[in-house]
Amino acid sequence: MLNRRMQALIVVAVVVTTGMGVFLVVDPYSDTFHLENRFPVDRRITASFVDLGLVNLEDCNLTVSFVNDTSLVYAMDIQLYSPILMNSAFQLTVENNTALIFVRFNAAVRIRSLNLTLGIGKPYLLSIWQGVNLNCTVTYTNGALLGRGLRYEATGTLRFIFLEDVNFTLGGFEARIGPTKPYPDMVCVYVDLPPMLNGKFYYCEDPQPYIMHDEGWYARIDDSYSTTWGDPPPLAIISVSSPTVIAYLYS
């Protein structure tokens, strides 16, 4: 009979073929994992964007950022609260469809931290759903390619940072924090728009947000803020549902 130490050293290797290529998936026993995926260099990718979702994270320090790398689809550095087989900790689905690249990370246990790094080769529809007690920072910078947006539904704290070093098209960008529960207990928004990108910020819950800075933004009678009166494209729209909202708005 194998003892516990020998059992912990067993890994199961499975070869998986997907639209992104052929991968060797190893199911190790650990409390840390690194997952990475890149666009293939030997053929053309027809997908126009990446649909990436993180589901069922709980008690997690979550960081999402971009790097100036057009070949990177994602890199994930994951730390668990205790060692476990990888396939028992989470399920990762990756599909390369004609219109989009579909990525889903579904947590099965509590994850201590997840650092998600995205490239700038395609725009992302980033979704964070059914999260519980997250300490999250999402930063758009380093040439992030806009055109899709952010959907965020999780309790805890969110810091949303949007800096002027981004690339955008006429389609603009939309971040929806909420508007249905679960939404964060507190949201801190820092927006510094690049030239030629208009902005609109509004909130969906009482009480009113703490607007710490709004130079270049107009306060409207509907309690929203915008950089122009007519909201012409391209437009970055940020809507927030949370009982506590702190916003720094620059243009």
pLDDT attached to residue 27: 67
| Contact criterion met (CB below 8 Å) for 198 and 234 | yes
Question: 30 has which bridge partners?
Answer: 84
CA distances from 20 to 47, 95, 145 (A): 11, 7, 21
- Alpha carbon distance 108, 54 (integer Å): 12
Q: Is the pTM of this model over 0.85?
A: yes
- Quick check: 10 pLDDT over 90? no
| Contact criterion met (CB below 8 Å) for 65 and 97 | no
**For 72-124, how does the pLDDT look when each residue is reduced to its tens digit (9 = 90+)?**
999 999 999 999 999 999 999 999 988 999 999 999 999 999 999 999 999 99
Q: Where exactly are the structural domains of the chain?
A: 30-250
- Alpha carbon distance 18, 38 (integer Å): 13
Strand pairing class (100-107; 90-96): antiparallel
CA angle 213, 166, 73 (to 5 degrees): 130
Q: How many CB atoms lie within 10 A of CB 122?
A: 19
The full length of the chain comes to: 251
- Quick check: 206 pLDDT over 80? no
- Quick check: 144 pLDDT over 80? yes
Give the pLDDT band (50/70/90) at residue 3.
very low
- Alpha carbon distance 54, 27 (integer Å): 20
Sign of the C-alpha dihedral computed for residues 197, 198, 204 and 210 taken in this order: positive
Which residue bears the tokens 């995926």? 37
- Alpha carbon distance 108, 85 (integer Å): 11
Greatest Cα pair distance, the chain, in angstroms, is: 74
